[in-house]
């Protein structure tokens, strides 16, 4: 996220997309279908239409809030002179951004930052893992990610258990 060049005409958009993917653990398909009317800045959440047209509400933190506001104020008007289109994230021609472009942005930013190549889904995975590491209940994470089955969410516990073992090993090296 820190590798985004905000002086570029796509900078604010790219930063807002990365912050939203990570902060909310969204799927790319959910990100590209966001509408301006789906953001509730006062309450700090977005409304997402997920798989199977299921609707859920996702909170977002201060960094995502700032990035989303900056995009709406400074970046979006550059790509879309009029605000008549309700699509939140726009492509270079002023229409709704496509999934392929979002994936390209994530891969490009990872390369620019000098980190191993990551996918948008890796940001979703990181969000889930960090929620669990922060003490979120597995069922809460399931609901936030829009998983219909708890089994799907349990995949993320493996990483957290490994991290827990590593921390335990550091704290109790003779155990």
**Which amino acids are annotated catalytic?**
27, 51, 121, 124, 147, 156
- What is the 8-class DSSP label of residue 89? S
Measured distance CA(160)–CA(32) in Å, rounded: 29
Cα–chain center distance at 173: 36
Closest by alpha carbon to 55, among 64, 65, 45?
A: 45
Measured distance CA(112)–CA(97) in Å, rounded: 21
- The three-state secondary structure class of 10 is coil
């Amino acid at each position: 996220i820190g590798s985004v060049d905000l002086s570029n005409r796509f900078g604010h958009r790219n930063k807002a997309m990365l912050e939203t993917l990570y902060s909310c653990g969204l799927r790319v398909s959910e990100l590209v279908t966001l509408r301006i009317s789906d953001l509730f800045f006062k309450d700090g959440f977005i409304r997402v239409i997920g798989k199977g047209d299921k609707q859920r509400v996702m909170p977002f933190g201060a960094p995502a809030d700032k990035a989303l506001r900056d995009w709406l104020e400074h970046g979006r008007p550059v790509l879309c002179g009029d605000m008549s289109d309700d699509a939140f994230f726009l492509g270079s021609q002023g229409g709704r951004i496509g999934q392929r472009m979002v994936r390209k942005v994530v891969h490009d930013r990872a390369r620019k930052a000098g980190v191993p190549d990551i996918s948008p889904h890796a940001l979703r995975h990181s969000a889930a893992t960090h929620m669990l590491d922060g003490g979120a209940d597995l069922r809460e994470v399931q609901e936030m990610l829009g998983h219909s089955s708890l089994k799907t969410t349990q995949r993320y516990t493996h990483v957290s258990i490994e991290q827990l073992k590593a921390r335990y090993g550091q704290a109790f090296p003779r155990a």
